[in-house]
Amino acid sequence: MSLGNLYSDDLHESLGNFGGHATVGESERKGVLMVAKCTVILNKPYGVLSCFTDAQQRATLADYISIPDVYSAGRLDQDSEGLLILTADGGLAHRLTDPAFKLPKVYLVQVEHVPDLQALEQLRTGVMVRGRTTRPAKIRLLSEAPPLWERSVPIRFRKSVPTSWLEIIISEGMNRQIRRMTAAVGYPTLRVVRTAIGGLKLGMLLPGEYRTVTNTELKKLWEC
């Protein structure tokens, strides 16, 4: 799937609408019928680690997911929110995390100040992050704040510093990439919310809620 296929002028489309819970049964990949292993999506809350255990007793996925044998396919930083895929299918996990497949990931990003045209173009063409240039990205400056839930810990607010929102679509996943990208062009990130991966959308899930991925969604992930 190309980045353009996820790039939409309708912000609500980026957030999506799943229309209820579903159970995965059989799915088809490359014409071969196979039994699908459990795959769910979670709206990971702010402050939660993308793992099930933590020696420091911090909040983890175990506080929200009790399904056995599923693990996060990829990760979100502790201070990032939104779509996290968990699966018992090792092959699917590999496809979702291997950068060779270039699955597009959609983020809503709040930054300090309002990025100028030069900064936006730099983000689109690639910036230097930890010694290498990021892949081309889709960047859109939003005209208003997106319809998101209130974060459990409010962002830092300074009356003298305006903020703005970007929609950023990337096809790689370096450590803290979004934050490092915006910092590289002079606009520190305040909040990051992932809303889609490879066409699979967060929908109307609230923080801490999860649902099973449908057969149709699973097939699309394999076809991306």
Helix (H, G, I), strand (E, B) or coil at 210: strand
Q: Write down the pLDDT at residue 11.
A: 52
Spatial contact of 105 and 96, defined as CB atoms under 8 Å apart: no
Question: How many C-beta neighbours within 10 Å does residue 58 have?
Answer: 12
Q: Domains, the chain, ranges and CATH? A: 3-223 (3.30.2350.10)
What global pTM score does this model have?
A: 0.84
Q: Give the lowest-confidence range in 113-122, 142-151, 169-178.
A: 169-178
Q: Which residues on adjacent β-strands are paired with residue 41?
A: 85, 211
Choose the catalytic residue: 10, 77, 79, 98: 77
Q: Write down the pLDDT at residue 87.
A: 95
Compute the residue count for the chain.
224
Output the CA torsion sign for 199, 139, 46, 94.
Answer: positive
Beta strands (DSSP E) in the chain are 26-29, 32-35, 39-44, 71-72, 81-87, 105-112, 128-129, 132-133, 138-141, 163-170, 189-197, 200-201, 210-212
Q: Give the lowest-confidence range in 6-10, 28-32, 192-196, 220-224.
A: 28-32
pLDDT tens figures, 8-39: 444 544 455 433 333 333 333 333 334 457 99
Catalytic annotation on 77?
yes
Q: What are phi and psi of 3, to 5 degrees?
A: -60, -35
